[in-house]
């Protein structure tokens, strides 16, 4: 499902919230060398601020003490590849697998942040995608699966860039884990995680859409259910640009409506009306409808939307 990047096509995918794998027309925003150099800066205390790092050994979350230990240990070694870093980590942690998750990646990789800003700004210009905020994250190591399994990050669409090795992602649309499926397959949803037997997981895998991200490609992943399911050499590293709460008409509408309601509540004391046993539609609703008609016909809604849009586009979601 690899495609030459076509932003016009991307607009369609974005609005329909459909995942797709693209070829990068230029160099990847971060390669293996950029990452190793950044780790070197981190351990030598050359960064202005430290990113948040979470480490897992055989899926077990490692406490902050061990995390600091790992960073200083890595700093003393002359590491030439990501595979070597993973080797050092697993031998120090005495584990078979190692997972590294890093948030606030812009703190570790300021130059990469600039490249991602450019990437997103050209996208904003062309297709009008402006997130409310962004996060740059790194996910890598020698694991076969995401340690916490199939999960969903609500309101968080991702661009996933390959940096080292191959990483396969399995994706399911939001409606997949439905009540109807629950009648036939035994699983639970807890804190946006899927809890299921191996047998059930095998069935889910059969139904998944699979995409393999490599250096030179990137995956657009809307906020679907997902899990990394690494097939080949387990050593891999990906760079994620997470876009939170993207532009959508319902959110624009609801922001405007809540402001409108607040405006009316000053006049009609809505809170008092709602606090009683309200069986019928309150009379202010019809007044509100005529207010909305007036606001739309007078152009006030358009003005409001334009202001909202300008604020949203100001920095492409980068703080």
State the minimum distance, in angstroms, from the CB of residue 44 to Fe ion: 30
C-beta of 113 vs 226, nearer to Fe ion? 226
Q: Which is nearer to Fe ion, 58 or 153 (CB)?
A: 153
φ/ψ of residue 29, rounded to 5: -60, -25
Give the helix ranges, DSSP H, for the chain.
7-16, 32-43, 64-76, 82-93, 105-108, 110-127, 179-184, 198-207, 249-268, 270-275, 284-298, 300-313
Minimal distance, residue 145 CB to Fe ion, in Å: 12
Residues within the interface to Fe ion (CB under 5 A): 153
Alpha carbon distance, N-terminus to C-terminus of the chain: 34
Q: What 3-state class would DSSP assign to 22? A: strand
- Whole-angstrom Cα distance, residue 232 to residue 253? 46
Q: How far is the CB of 286 from Fe ion (least distance, A)?
A: 44
d(CA 84, CA 173): 36
User: In this complex, which beta carbon is closest to Fe ion, that of residue 67 or of residue 153?
Assistant: 153
Neighbours of 50 (CB within 10 A): 12
C-beta of 266: minimal distance to Fe ion in Å? 42
Q: Please list the residues that pair with 219 across neighbouring strands.
A: 21, 160
Which one, 153 or 300, has the nearer CB to Fe ion? 153
95 or 103: whose CB is closer to Fe ion?
A: 103
Chain position whose Cβ is nearest to Fe ion: 153
Q: What whole-number distance in Å separates Cα of residue 127 and Cα of residue 12? A: 9
* Closest CB 153 distance from Fe ion, rounded Å: 5
Question: Which tokens go with 11?
Answer: 């607009």
Taking CA 9 as the corner, what is the angle to CA 206 and CA 315, rounded to the nearest 5 degrees? 105
Residue 154 or 278 having the CB closest to Fe ion: 154
Q: Do the Cβ atoms of 243 and 131 come closer than 8 Å?
A: yes
Distance from C-alpha of 148 to C-alpha of 142, rounded to nearest angstrom: 15
- The minimum distance between CB 80 and Fe ion, in angstroms, equals 30
Q: How far is the CB of 158 from Fe ion (least distance, A)?
A: 8
- Give 15 or 148: the residue with its C-beta nearer to Fe ion: 148
């Amino acid at each position: 499902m690899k495609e030459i990047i076509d932003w016009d096509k991307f607009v369609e995918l974005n609005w329909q919230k459909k995942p797709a794998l693209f070829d990068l027309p230029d160099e990847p925003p971060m390669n293996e060398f950029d990452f190793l150099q950044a780790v070197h800066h981190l351990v030598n205390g050359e960064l202005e601020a430290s990113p948040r790092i979470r480490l897992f050994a055989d899926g077990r979350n490692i406490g902050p003490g061990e995390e600091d230990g790992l960073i200083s240990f890595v700093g003393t070694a002359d590491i030439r590849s990501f595979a070597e870093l993973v080797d050092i980590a697993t031998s120090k942690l005495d584990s078979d697998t190692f997972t590294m998750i890093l948030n606030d990646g812009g703190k570790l990789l300021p130059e990469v942040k600039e490249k991602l800003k450019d990437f997103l700004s050209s996208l904003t210009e062309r297709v009008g995608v402006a997130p409310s905020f962004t996060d740059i994250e790194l996910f890598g190591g020698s694991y076969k699966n995401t340690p916490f399994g199939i999960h969903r990050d609500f309101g968080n669409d991702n661009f996933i860039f390959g940096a080292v090795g191959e990483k396969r992602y399995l994706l399911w649309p939001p409606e997949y884990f439905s009540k109807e499926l629950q009648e036939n397959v035994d699983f639970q949803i807890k804190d946006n995680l899927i809890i299921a037997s191996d047998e059930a997981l095998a069935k889910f895998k059969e139904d998944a859409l699979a995409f393999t991200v490599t250096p030179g490609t990137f995956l657009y992943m809307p906020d679907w259910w997902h899990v990394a399911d690494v097939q080949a050499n387990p050593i891999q590293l990906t760079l994620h640009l997470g876009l939170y709460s993207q532009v959508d008409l319902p959110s624009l509408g609801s922001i405007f409506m809540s402001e409108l309601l607040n405006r009316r509540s000053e006049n009609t004391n809505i809170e008092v009306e709602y606090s009683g046993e309200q069986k019928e539609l309150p009379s202010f609703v019809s007044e509100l409808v005529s207010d909305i008609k007036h606001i739309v016909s007078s152009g006030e809604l358009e003005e409001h939307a334009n202001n909202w849009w300008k604020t949203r586009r100001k920095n492409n979601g980068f703080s």
